[in-house]
Structure 1
Amino acid sequence: MHKAICTVCGQAYGGFAAHSLTKTEAKAATYTETGNNEYYTCSVCQKVFKDAAGTQETTVEAETIAKLTRPSSGGSSSHGDRDPSYAVTAPSTKNGDVTVSPKNASKGDRVTITVTSDKGYELDKLIVKDASGNKLKLTDKGNGKYTFTMPGSKVTVSAEFVEEQAASIFADVPADAYYAKAVEWAVKKGITNGKANGLFGSNDSCTRAQIVTFLWRAAGSPAPKGTAKVPADVLPGSYCYDAVAWALENGIINGLADGTFGVNNTCTRGQSVTFLYRAMGTAPTTVNGFTDVAADSFCADAVAWAVENGVTNGTSATTFSPNNGCTRAQIVTFLYRAYQGK
């Protein structure tokens, strides 16, 4: 009786009688005999090692051991002529899916990994490691497929997915800016094309005419019915005329106290969320908790709706700053967030 010890990971298999294994022991470690030595496949690290009368000796290559035959009266080797195979595992991950083929492979086989990202996400990291923690070389085959050559051990595939980064369309819209995706979305939807100088004007003030036009275009640029009286400062034929007429007809906006629309006036935070709320919002289930937004304010419900639906938060824990002006980047971001899931 003696112990066999894996020379790779140190796993010990005890109480083996010479040239024999019990059924229980056979499940823990399989072996093939040749001469006076016994060869075992470790159930922990899947490496093949040689044991001679309980003395730890050298590791033997898996493909060599697989070809050895166990002496018996006409019996065949426990492995036969087949190379041993090892598992390829790919634990589940968030925001994407990873599959492998085949799920068991022999040393030298080519294994294919297929990566599929969830909508709005992209692959950030794909790592393949053998049983010893060594990284394996990957070959990118395109279309989310990668291959590697199977080592003589089990393999683990891990992947990480991150949110897609928007392309930098304008020089003043960095790809990592909070409004980058919103700008990209707005351009794709034909809501805005930026300014004549090739910039988006991210930090420029957003006018009342601009936000109403953005809303109108997001709604599909519907033709006005001609039932509303358009204020005199909205000139027929101007880029915002139909948008203002449509917004007036649908109760999205009102004119100012002096009878004008205020085409070039900067749109405030209170006005912006009110326009969005009237165009596409539903009654909030909570009340706004900001000290600078009175319960009877024209924008009270709109502010509560905007916060409840992730359109925007306050400027502090207790203030919303409804009279602060909005930039073009902020307005497009509010619109983008409001339209998510619509």
Structure 2
Amino acid sequence: MKRALCALFIAAALVLPASAVSFTDVPDGAWYAAAVEAVSDGGVMSGTSSTTFSPDQLVTRGMVVTVLWRLSGSPAPAGASSFPDVLDWYYYADAVAWAEENGIASGRSDGAFGGGDTVTREQLAVFLYRFCAYRGEQLANGVLDHYRDVDQVQGWALEGMAHAVGAGLITGNDEGDLDPGGSATRSQLAVILQRLMTPAVG
């Protein structure tokens, strides 16, 4: 319950409108600055306050399904989700229901959704793979052997990671590694969303 309530406080990361140029923690020359401007101006992702974006804050499952839902035009789900830990007043309730209906998100092994759980890079890759399949896009098959830590990608995430890499949605980190088990950040998510919003991607 505490984690769920914490996730609700994090909802501010998605509901407080602001222009990217007003984010005091997004330097003009940052590698993610243009992406933050694109996703905030597009109404897909917002700040954690009226003046901050929190680019290094970790991404949660609730955040991921919400931004993908918004990127799809925030369609109304047919009904509530089946997850017992997603109450109808949670900020991501409709997004989770939509994502479940369309095969974009599934629950944890315990049957819960875990909206406040942080998302690893390989988990994010699988979300993106399913989202692109939902949109009817041609799925990519990128070569992962170029990355020295390819053996760290878990079997269930290989297809998703291959697509994310092949479509240019996910690239190596500063060390040139996939870092599949590393936590995804808001700045990384903003860049990925900008790529999804670009017609050339996919």
TM-score, shorter chain, exceeding 0.5: yes
Number of the residue aligned with 2:127: 275
Q: Work out the CA distance in 1 between the residues paired with 2:152 and 2:112.
A: 27
- In structure 2, the residue matched to 1:337 is 195
Deviation by residue 1:236-285 (Cα, 9 ceiling, x = unmatched)? 12210000000000000111111111111111101111111111153324
The percentage of aligned residue pairs carrying the same residue is 39
What is the aligned partner in structure 1 of residue 89 from structure 2?
Answer: 237
Q: TM-score, normalised by structure 1?
A: 0.47
Q: 1:288 offset after TM fit, Å?
A: 2.5
Counterparts of 1:15-94 in structure 2 under 5 Å? none
TM-score, L = length of structure 2: 0.78
Task: Kindly name which structure, 1 or 2, has the bigger radius of gyration based on alpha carbons.
Answer: 1
Query: What SS does the corresponding residue of 2:169 show, helix, strand or coil?
Result: coil
Q: Which has the higher contact order (CA 8 A, sep 6+)?
A: 2
Q: Distance in 2 between matches of 1:267 and 1:169?
A: 27
**Partners of 2:191 and 2:92 in 1: how far apart?**
20
Aligned residues, how many? Answer: 173
Q: Judging by fraction of residues, say which structure has more strand.
A: 1
Corresponding position: 1:300 with 2:158: yes
Q: Distance in 2 between matches of 1:308 and 1:287?
A: 7
Q: Residue 322 and residue 240 in structure 1: after superposition, are their counterparts in 2 closer, same or farther (change >3 A)?
A: same
The answer to whether the 8 Å contact 1:194/1:201 transfers is yes
Cα distance in 2 between the residues matched to 1:169 and 1:209: 25
Residue 220 of structure 1 corresponds to 73
**Helix, strand or coil at the partner of 1:291:** helix
Query: Which residue identity lines up with residue 261 of structure 1 in the other structure?
Result: F
1:209-241 deviation per Cα after TM superposition (whole angstroms, max 9, x unaligned):
011101100110000011741x12212122100
Stretches of 4+ moved more than 4 A in 1?
A: none
Letter of the aligned partner of 2:198 in structure 1? Q
1:304 and 1:214 mapped to 2: Cα distance? 22
Residue 199 (structure 1) shift: 0.7
Distance across 2 between alignment mates of 1:220 and 1:206: 21
Q: Paired residue for 1:203, among 46, 53, 56?
A: 56
